[in-house]
Amino acid sequence: MQRLAAEALGTFWIVFAGCGAALLGAGVPQLGIGLFGVAFAFGLSVVTMVYALGHISGGHLNPAVSIGLVLSQRFPARELPGYIAAQVVGAILGAGVLYLIASGRAGFVPGGFASNGYGDHSPGGYSLLAGFCAEAVFAFMFLFIILGATDSRAPQGFAPLAIGLAVTLINLAGIPVTNLSLNPARSTGTAFFADGWALQQLWLFWAAPIVGGAVAGLVYPLLAGRPAANPKR
């Protein structure tokens, strides 16, 4: 239960702080933090939670990460359903509190509510195929970086920093395509409070990150030659 609570809290923070930067910070012209600011906010949210909670739950904070870790034999499959449920609950709670704050502004309209989308709902007008490819490749590289940074042979103590920097870089490249999911739980949380199209397109932001994470979970052990020692990552 401690590990599940940690996963829920960590995912709560990613949605609340990361999406909050997009909705509350970038949404005010005179205070707008722009693409870099939003990308950096997501990276910081991941760094802080992996450092704070990694020793409790492993700091997955993402269903695609948990699935990839199972396939790489870094995490027991029997714990996967509980982790995914905790991550989704935390994300929905994070989006709910964010909605409560955002709706306190006069004239507030939820609109996309920082949700992920393709086609007409892509920030840059990218197609479904483009969105799927981007999300899958970004998720592949993200989990590959996680597996490498947390390998027992890698320099110790720097994994959260490497993971957070990866999130920042991926957001810089991916936000224009789909508003970047990378995390099915994060996409689910905001979709619950957005316009109806967000739930209709949500399937892609489960399917693509999971495909990418799963492939990385299978490929990394082949490249690395042996699994790392840490069973939680």
- Residue spans of the domains in the chain: they are 2-224
* CA dist., res. 178 & res. 115, Å (int): 9
51-56: long-range contacts, CB 8 A cutoff, minimum separation 24: 51/160, 52/10, 53/6, 53/7, 53/9, 53/10, 54/159, 54/160, 54/233, 56/2, 56/3, 56/6
The pLDDT assigned to 233 comes to 42
Examine the pLDDT at 135 and tell me if it is beyond 80. yes
DSSP structural state of residue 115: -
* Lowest model confidence (mean pLDDT) among 59-63, 148-152, 155-159, 218-222: 155-159
218 with 71: CB under 8 angstroms? yes
Provide mean pLDDT across the span 157-178: 95
For residues 74, 61, 53, 148, the Cα torsion angle rounded to the nearest 10 degrees is: 40
Q: Report the length, in residues, of the chain.
A: 233
pLDDT tens profile 145-162: 999 999 988 888 899 999
Contacts of 23 (CB under 8 A, 6+ apart): 98, 102, 113, 114
Residue type, 126: Y
pLDDT at 30 over 80: no
Q: What's the predicted TM-score (pTM) here?
A: 0.91
CATH of 2-224, one of 1.20.1080.10, 1.25.40.10, 3.40.50.2300, 3.30.830.10: 1.20.1080.10
DSSP H helices in 26-79 = 34-57, 63-71
- How far out from the chain centre does Cα 9 lie? 14
| Tokens encoding 166 | 């990866």
Confidence of residue 49 (pLDDT cuts 50, 70, 90): very high
